[in-house]
């Protein structure tokens, strides 16, 4: 596996960059995002709409609604962003 100067394997560095890119895109789209590692608390229009947890090593994600009315409008946009950045990832919806 190719290594960077820091000794970090390229695969892990690239995944970490994608996780940060996801946060940045969501912010650009008007979401407020609190990120910790692979977990994103999602707020839009001052309403807490859900939690996104990614499991990049397993190509899985969990998107949980905390506000059904708002999430029905906004989750399709979030799902599209996930598909673009992590095309192999299967997303489970809850709530």
Q: Within its chain, how far is the Cα of 56 from the centroid?
A: 10
Map out the domains of the chain as residue ranges.
Answer: 10-94
Q: What's residue 67's pLDDT?
A: 96
Whether the CB-CB separation of 42 and 31 falls below 8 Å is answered with yes
Going by pLDDT thresholds of 50, 70 and 90, the confidence category of residue 16 is confident
User: What pLDDT, in 10s, does the model give residues 17-69?
Assistant: 999 999 999 999 999 999 999 999 999 999 999 999 999 889 999 999 999 99
pLDDT at 13: 73
Please provide the DSSP assignment of 4-56 as one string: -TTS-BHHHHHHHHHHHHHHHHHHHTT-EEEEETTEEEEEETTEEEEEEEEEG
- Between CA 28 and CA 12 the distance in angstroms is 24
Which residue in 86, 41, 94 sits closest to 65, CA to CA? 94
Which pLDDT score is estimated for 2?
45
CA–CA distances in Å: residue 12 to residues 35, 56, 95: 18, 10, 31
Instruction: Report in angstroms the alpha-carbon separations of 55 from 1, 6, 16, 47, 67.
Output: 21, 24, 12, 25, 23
Residue-level pLDDT at 20: 95
């Amino acid at each position: 596996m190719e290594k960077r100067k820091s000794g970090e394997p390229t695969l892990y560095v690239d995944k970490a960059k994608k996780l940060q890119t996801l946060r940045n895109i969501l912010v650009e789209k008007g979401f407020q995002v609190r990120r910790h590692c692979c977990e994103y608390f999602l707020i839009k229009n001052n309403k807490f709409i859900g939690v996104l947890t990614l499991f990049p090593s397993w190509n899985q994600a969990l998107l949980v609604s905390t506000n059904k009315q708002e999430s029905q409008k906004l989750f399709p946009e979030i799902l599209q962003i996930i598909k673009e950045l992590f095309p192999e990832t299967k997303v489970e919806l809850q709530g």
